[in-house]
Structure 1
Amino acid sequence: MSRFGITIRKLRISRRITQQELANDLFDRSELSKIEHSELTVSYENEIELIKRLSLTPDEFEYISNNYTLSFKRRLLHRFFELKISIDTADNSIADIEALLQDCFLVENDGDIGRIKTILEALLLANKPKGLDKAKKMVQPIWFDYLAKTKILTITDIYVLNTILFAFDYETANEIIAKIITVIDRDYPFKKSLKIDTLINQAMIEMLDHKFKLAADNMLKLKPLIKKLGQYDKLLVIRARIAVCQKDKTKALEQVSLLEKIEAQQLANNLKSEIKEFL
């Protein structure tokens, strides 16, 4: 029995859900039985739907399926997500990036890890003199040659795209963002924080293209959702950026000071660089 099938069956039984109830309008009961006994495979999209019907996120399902431990690949992905890297910034620890890159080389023939390797190598290149343009060219095929043609984006794909958004021109970046938001709204509505991060990146791209009023208006729309999720560090970031868009250096620096008080030093440092660049 595959891990997917046996985990679906175990969770369905533990929740006292019948095969007919779980399969409703998606499969016949007999088809679900075959899935649970590894006699039938399903598309990724239908796997996600079954997981949702069991009131789990894909990450939670994978954790349970892997006997309540994180796989080596998942640990690498979490380390990558926690770096909060972007191809246009050099604020991460070179040692952390190099260590993660070396561990990624332990995984062979995995598309996700292969793309992350490329991003990490590009980030190291971006830290070198005149390396930024070369770094951008390294990561652009991730979109043009693969993810632009992929109908169903995974959460990992979305994180990867958010990391490399700044490697593209304004129009391409917005094309990528439009696809990300469509996929999140359709397939991952529970990933509200990821949607916020994507829209914050979009506002930053608008700022870089000197569309300051548009950027400020879009960030103002984000404030209620950020407050609802209690993500006050992000709230301070967008307040600072709105102030930058409004050419209010004093107010922007006030938000930086508040970030330093809550020990969000990397965010504060990033904003100081932005204030220096724009004001």
Structure 2
Amino acid sequence: MKNRHIFEHNKQRKNTIMNNFGKTIHNLRTRRKMTQQELAQDLFDRSTISKIENNELSTTYENEIKLITRLGLTPNEFEYISNSYQVGTKDQLLYRFLNLDDNVDQEEINGLLQDCLFVKNDEDIKRIAIILKSLLLVNNAAAPAHARELVQPIWFNYLRNIEVFTITDITILNSILFAFDYQTANEIITKIITNLDNRYPFMKELKANTLINQAIIQMKEHQFKSAVSILNSLQPLLKSLRQYDKLLVVNARIAICQNDKQKALEQVDLLQKIGAANLAKSLEQEVKQFL
């Protein structure tokens, strides 16, 4: 993975990928709800992106790499999509991993794990397989310690030494944050936020999820003042994303931090009323834990 943000200098491979470059860029940009101006920022003007997407203009090899990186992909990930105009095997596995529910059963986790093990020579999928193995330990008495032992090398042996994260890297790190001590978790979050702000400012939902995790970590350390500050900053972001279920969770956690049990339970009740029963149940457990 040392060439994670550049293509192999192989002309035939490059031509195969770049024949579909404009259309693939357009599809990925619209899927991410990015404007042409957001994608073009600091590289081109908006009209240039329009011409690239319509295959009316080519740009330099280096700028192609920058556009792909700005979309949160490695060149290999871009190739999966570009070659077939549809989600490839890796992307299907990533999608299934990203959409695992907190209450998912072990049979589904094991099925995804087996599919991941079938993919060879892909470092992202190998890391996801490790995380899935750790999730299968939940019914084991030694699960917490063993799970941490499995996932911690993902950070210490690899991602800690990487300056630029892909969206996949950030998602993986968010899924294992709670396996680390307080100081390490904050180190990881700081690096995630820096990457999101500097390289992926359009990934607002991913930033919201990261901040939610950061607030939980602060609460577990009884750093309630810091947690409230983070949670307050999340409110306008979640409103802009129209994620009102998460907004209710944030409001409840603010109430927990302020020792207001009644207000926290009111948010739980509202979650029940909008049909978010699993989220309400999980949040009710938090109220009992802290209050």
- What is the TM-score normalised by the length of structure 1? 0.82
Aligned counterpart, 1:127: 139
Q: CA 1:17–1:49 in 2, change beyond 3 Å: closer, same or farther? A: farther
Q: Answer yes or no: is the 8 Å Cα contact 1:233–1:264 preserved in 2.
A: yes
Q: Deviations over 1:40-93 (max 9, x none)?
A: xx5xxx54523489xx775996675143311011001000000155xxxxx332
Query: Does structure 1 residue 18 correspond to structure 2 residue 57?
Result: yes
Provide the rounded CA distance (Å) in 2 between the counterparts of 1:132 and 1:151. 29
Q: Answer yes or no: is the 8 Å Cα contact 1:236–1:258 preserved in 2.
A: yes
Q: CA 1:48–1:92 in 2, change beyond 3 Å: closer, same or farther? A: farther
Aligned counterpart, 1:81: 98
The letter of the residue matching 2:57 is T
The letter of the residue matching 1:249 is K
Structure 2 unmatched ranges of 5 or more: 1-11, 25-50
Query: Does structure 1 residue 6 correspond to structure 2 residue 19?
Result: yes
Q: Answer yes or no: is the 8 Å Cα contact 2:81–2:88 preserved in 1.
A: no
Q: 2:67 aligns with which of 50, 53, 62?
A: 50
Q: Answer yes or no: is the 8 Å Cα contact 1:7–1:64 preserved in 2.
A: no
Q: CA 1:243–1:48 in 2, change beyond 3 Å: closer, same or farther? A: farther
Aligned counterpart, 1:203: 215
Aligned counterpart, 2:89: 72
Identity %: 53
Aligned counterpart, 2:224: 212
Aligned counterpart, 2:156: 144
Name the SS of the counterpart of 1:250 in structure 2.
helix
Aligned counterpart, 1:29: none
Q: Answer yes or no: is the 8 Å Cα contact 1:126–1:134 preserved in 2.
A: no
Query: Does structure 1 residue 252 correspond to structure 2 residue 264?
Result: yes
Q: Answer yes or no: is the 8 Å Cα contact 1:48–1:58 preserved in 2.
A: no
Measured on the aligned residues, the alpha-carbon RMSD in Å equals: 2.4
Provide the rounded CA distance (Å) in 2 between the counterparts of 1:112 and 1:61. 14
The letter of the residue matching 2:202 is F
Q: 1:107 aligns with which of 112, 116, 119?
A: 119
Provide the rounded CA distance (Å) in 2 between the counterparts of 1:71 and 1:249. 47
Q: How many residues align?
A: 250
Name the SS of the counterpart of 1:151 in structure 2.
coil
Q: Deviations over 1:194-250 (max 9, x none)?
A: 001001100000001110111012101110111011111110110111111111112
Query: Does structure 1 residue 243 correspond to structure 2 residue 282?
Result: no
Structure 1 unmatched ranges of 5 or more: 24-31, 36-41, 86-90
- What is the TM-score normalised by the length of structure 2? 0.78
Q: Answer yes or no: is the 8 Å Cα contact 2:72–2:166 preserved in 1.
A: no
Q: Where in structure 2 are the equivalents of 1:225-236 lying within 5 Å? A: 225-236=237-248
